[in-house]
Amino acid sequence: MRRSLLKRFVARLMLLMLVACAQVTPYSRAAAQTRSVSPSRTTESFDKDWRFLKSDAKGAEGAGFDDSSWRGLDVPHDWSIEGPFDEKNPTGGAGGFLPAGVGWYRKHFTLPASASHRHVFIDFDGIMANSDVWINGFHLGHRPYGYVSFRYELTGHLNFGSDKQNVLAVRADNSGQPASRWYTGAGLYRHVRLVITDPVHIEHWSTFVTTPKVEVAEATVRVESTVVNQSDAPRNVSLQITLLDPDGRAIQNVSTKAQEIAAGKSVDFRQEIAVRSPKIWDIDHPYIYRAVTQVRAGRSTLDDETTTFGIREFHFDAATGFWLNGRNFKIKGVCLHHDASAFGAAVPLSAWERRLEALKQLGVNAIRTAHNPPSPEFLDLCDRMGFLVMDEMFDCWTVGKNPFDYHLYFREWSLVDLRDTVRRDRNHPSIIIYSAGNEIHDTQKAELAKEILTSLVAAFHESDPTRPVTQALFRPNVSHDYDNGLADLLDVVGQNYRENEILAAHQQKPSRKILGTENGHTREAWIALRDNPPYAGQFLWAGVDYLGESRQWPNVADNFGLLDRTDRRKPIAFQRESWWSAHPMVYITRRVAPTPLAPTDPGYGTAAQERRPQVLLSDWTPRERETHEENVEVYSNCEQVELFLNGKSLGAKQRPNDDSPRNWKVPFAPGTLKAVGMNNGQSVATYELRTAGKPAKILLTTERSSLAPVWDDVAFVEAVVVDENGVVVPSANDLISFKVTGPGAVVAVDSADNNSHEPFQATERRAYQGRCFAILKASAPSGRITLTATANGLTSNTITINSVATPASNGAQAR
Per-residue pLDDT tens for 387-430? 999 999 999 999 999 999 999 999 999 999 999 999 999 999 99
The pLDDT value recorded for residue 814 is 25
Give 425: exposed, middle or buried? Use CB within 10 Å, 0-12, 13-18, 19+: buried
Measure the CA–CA gap between 280 and 296, rounded to whole angstroms.
30
Within 10 angstroms of residue 628's Cβ, the number of other Cβ atoms is 10
* DSSP track, 386-410: T-EEEEE--S-SSS-SSTTSGGGTH
Among the residue ranges 194-198, 603-607, 764-768, the one predicted with the least confidence is 603-607
Banded model confidence at residue 755, pLDDT cuts 50, 70, 90 = very high
Single out the catalytic residue among 439, 577, 630, 642: 439
User: What does the pLDDT average to over 576-581?
Assistant: 98
User: What does the pLDDT average to over 715-731?
Assistant: 97
439 is catalytic: yes
Q: Tell me: the pLDDT tens digits for 676-686?
A: 999 999 999 99
Give 635: exposed, middle or buried? Use CB within 10 Å, 0-12, 13-18, 19+: buried
Bridge partners, 131 (sequence order): 143
Measure the CA–CA gap between 249 and 811, rounded to whole angstroms.
20
Residue type at 426? R
Measure the CA–CA gap between 259 and 116, rounded to whole angstroms.
27
Q: Are strands 557-558 and 546-547 parallel, antiparallel or unpaired?
A: antiparallel
Q: Tell me: the pLDDT tens digits for 358-379?
A: 999 999 999 999 999 999 999 9
* pLDDT, the chain, mean: 93
Q: Are strands 744-750 and 764-766 parallel, antiparallel or unpaired?
A: unpaired
Give 11: exposed, middle or buried? Use CB within 10 Å, 0-12, 13-18, 19+: middle
CA of 80: how far to CAs of 98, 179, 258, in Å?
6, 14, 51
Q: Write phi, then psi, for 439 (nearest 5 degrees).
A: 45, 55
Whether the per-residue pLDDT at 33 is higher than 80: the answer is no
Single out the catalytic residue among 518, 549, 577, 642: 518
**Helix 499-508 vs helix 523-530: crossing angle, to nearest 10:** 20
* CA nearest neighbour of 95 among 78, 105, 81: 81
- Decide: 722 and 729 in contact? Cβ < 8 Å: yes
- Decide: 56 and 169 in contact? Cβ < 8 Å: no
Whether the per-residue pLDDT at 216 is higher than 70: the answer is yes
Whether the per-residue pLDDT at 466 is higher than 50: the answer is yes
Whether the per-residue pLDDT at 801 is higher than 80: the answer is yes
CA of 81: how far to CAs of 91, 92, 568, in Å?
12, 14, 21
Whether the per-residue pLDDT at 609 is higher than 60: the answer is no
Query: Residue 232 has what DSSP assignment?
Result: S
Banded model confidence at residue 37, pLDDT cuts 50, 70, 90 = low
The pLDDT value recorded for residue 623 is 83
∠ CA 245-246-248, nearest 5°, is: 65
- Decide: 701 and 721 in contact? Cβ < 8 Å: no
Q: pTM here?
A: 0.94
